[in-house]
Amino acid sequence: MLADIRRFFADRSVLEVETPLLSHSIGTDPQLAFFTTEYCLPPRRQTLFLQTSPEFAMKRLVAAGSGSIYQIGKAFRNGESGRFHNPEFTMLEWYRVGFDLFRLMDEIAELIEGLFSERSLQPSHRRSYQEVFLAFTGLDPLVFSYPDYCAVAEESDLAEAVDICGHDHALWLDFLFSHKVQPHLGENALCMVYGYPACQSSLARISAHNERVTERVELFIDGIELGNGYYELTDAEEQSKRFDRELALRQQQELPVCVKDHRLIDALAAGLPDCAGVQPLTMC
């Protein structure tokens, strides 16, 4: 599989890179827990972070002029263990300069169909987030109605969602999507769900055609999420504001303190070319 992946990108002149596992900063996403370690060179002591993804370092390379790049490497996420999760795992991540989200989805389909050729997957398909959410919940994910969301949770024997999610639209979407939508996606096929609500924008840019939607895609086979793809945000000021909002939320939820990645902000300010990327495609 590794050889096939490398051949796929070599045929497309995408450069393989390797970025550090240890960093001075880490992603601010409240849903991700991280590992830390201490660097000691007396009298100096410094906390370093094991990367949950090489995303920030790779974007800095793209901003520095690397062109399209990919990486196969280790990532670490604390508090994750189970049938589909390990605290240490191998992932594939790549960035394609000049690609938009739909061109990226074309390439994702080509890669997955090639890697799974012996399994005889059905043809890949694409569905908007709004379409699949409406189909399996009856709710419009772009319009938050607290009473309607509570009613669907009660009807679905998911009453705990009311206390877990409160009035947080993004939390409601994550909860209902994971319980009522995701299990039905990608039956023996790659399903790409795109056009996520803007409140789940992460590091993707907001659609130029609909400010309620973000340029983001997620990949599913047999109800299992394989990875995320973004038409990457290039606005340094907007990215900094998103980091600040996530840091405030982490503090509100009394989560471990993390360090905002000013090097990424500086790279975006210097100029990240239009690009789209997958981060990550989980392999094991």
How far apart, in whole angstroms, are the C-alpha atoms of residue 271 and residue 55?
16
| 210 contacts: CB under 8 Å, gap ≥ 6 | none
Per-residue pLDDT reduced to its tens digit, 241-278:
999 999 998 998 899 988 889 999 999 999 999 999 99
Phi-psi region of 254 (alpha: psi -120 to 50; beta: other; left: phi over 0): left
How far apart, in whole angstroms, are the C-alpha atoms of residue 50 and residue 162?
34
CATH number of the domain at 2-282, please? Answer: 3.30.930.10
Per-residue pLDDT reduced to its tens digit, 63-102:
999 999 999 999 999 987 778 888 999 999 999 999 999 9
Q: What is the pLDDT of residue 236?
A: 96
Average pLDDT over residues 12-25: 96
| Nearest Cα residue to 202 out of 215, 192, 211 | 215
pLDDT at 284 over 70: no
Average pLDDT over residues 208-226: 95
Indicate the pLDDT class of residue 152, thresholds 50, 70 and 90: very high
Average pLDDT over residues 129-149: 97
Q: Give the side-chain half-sphere CA count within 13 A for 154.
A: 6
- Reading the block at residue 38, the tokens are 């201490």
Inter-residue contact 230 to 277 (CB < 8 Å): yes
Percent of the chain with pLDDT over 70: 99
Total Cβ atoms within 10 A of residue 121: 17
pTM: 0.93
Exposure string over 65-101, b if 16+ CB within 10 A, otherwise e: eeebbbbbbebbbeeeeeeeeeeebebbbbbbbebeb
Average pLDDT over residues 8-35: 94
Q: What is the pLDDT of residue 79?
A: 86
DSSP E strand stretches across 203-266? 213-221, 224-231
Q: What is the pLDDT of residue 202?
A: 84
Q: What is the pLDDT of residue 194?
A: 97
User: Whole-number mean pLDDT of the chain?
Assistant: 94
First CA to last CA distance, the chain: 12
Indicate the pLDDT class of residue 38, thresholds 50, 70 and 90: very high
Average pLDDT over residues 120-129: 94
Average pLDDT over residues 13-26: 95
Distances (CA, A) of 16 to 11, 19, 67, 108, 167: 12, 10, 11, 17, 43
Say which residue the tokens 């189909």 belong to.
Answer: 135
